[in-house]
Amino acid sequence: MLGKRFTIGVIICVTLVILYKIASNIGLKSQFDTVVATYTIEAKKLGLRILELVSEGLGLESRFFGDKLSESEILSINHYPPCPDPSLTLGVAKHCDPNLLTLLHQGDVSGLQVFNNGEWIGVEPLHNVFVVNIGNQLQIISNNKLKSVEHRVVTNSRVARTSAGFFIGPSEDSIIEPEKSLVDDAPFYRAFEFKDFLLHYFPNLEDNEVVMGHFKSQA
């Protein structure tokens, strides 16, 4: 359980983030555990199906992103209470996701924004719709044919917001590099272990150019 507390004068805003790293050997102890487990199973099925379609769209085998490239899964439940002055803090600072693919259930309250053409654009929630974010690893493997999306979350002063993000990514020992069949002249990125990417990502997550630049090919 992670929490961020922002205090400015007498104004206090708290963002609560609960992370679940899914493990098949953990017994279910409550109804909540059962709901979380069921949700993650279905979200993983949906995510893998989307990755199959992405693979086919890139001209790859449908199971290209199976096995170790999609072995890791994390469910992040985020709660943003009303903030008396939303201009003082963000719910989540700008970043790109470090994984392959993210499925986001926004709930009924807006707050997600994406950066496009020099401005932040709100993504309004739709009933029974997931937002699908391309992560950095998908950008690297596709050799920039697909681009990770920079996004952030803003707070509001009226109502609380709760969202659920499901992250699909490689195992930490996976070797990540541009797929050779997607490289025209030269690869944009060098090969690396995913755990090395994470070590560089978290200290620099608000500057995606720094993150991605560290893994660019020198050729």
pLDDT digits (tens, 9 = 90+) for 56-86: 999 999 999 999 999 999 999 888 888 888 8
Please state the rounded mean pLDDT for residues 160-176: 94
Alpha helices by DSSP H, the chain: 31-57, 136-141, 194-201, 208-213
Residues linked to residue 193 through DSSP beta bridges, in sequence order: 175
Which pLDDT score is estimated for 83? 83
Which CATH fold would you assign to the domain 2-6+23-213?
Jelly Rolls (2.60.120)
To which residue do tokens 């709901």 refer?
Answer: 35
To which residue do tokens 């926004």 refer?
Answer: 106
In this structure, what token pair is assigned to residue 7? 């205090």
**Domain ranges, ordered by start, for the chain:** 2-6+23-213
Res. 89: pLDDT tops 90: no
Which pLDDT score is estimated for 57? 97
Say how far apart CA 65 and CA 138 lie, in whole Å: 9
Which pLDDT score is estimated for 2? 40
Residue 107 has φ and ψ, to the nearest 5°, of 75, -150
Percent of the chain past pLDDT 90, that is, above it, reads 68
To which residue do tokens 């009226």 refer?
Answer: 158
Segment 18-62, tens digit of pLDDT: 555 655 545 556 787 788 889 999 999 999 999 999 999 999 999
Segment 131-163, tens digit of pLDDT: 999 999 999 999 999 999 999 999 888 898 889
3-state secondary structure at position 33: helix
In this structure, what token pair is assigned to residue 136? 């950095």
Closest C-alpha among 139, 133, 110, 132 to residue 123 = 110
Segment 101-119, tens digit of pLDDT: 999 999 999 999 999 999 9
Closest C-alpha among 120, 114, 161 to residue 134 = 114
Residues linked to residue 122 through DSSP beta bridges, in sequence order: 113
Cβ–Cβ < 8 Å for 69, 174 = yes
As a whole number, the mean pLDDT across the chain is 88
Say how far apart CA 148 and CA 159 lie, in whole Å: 29
Cβ–Cβ < 8 Å for 23, 40 = no
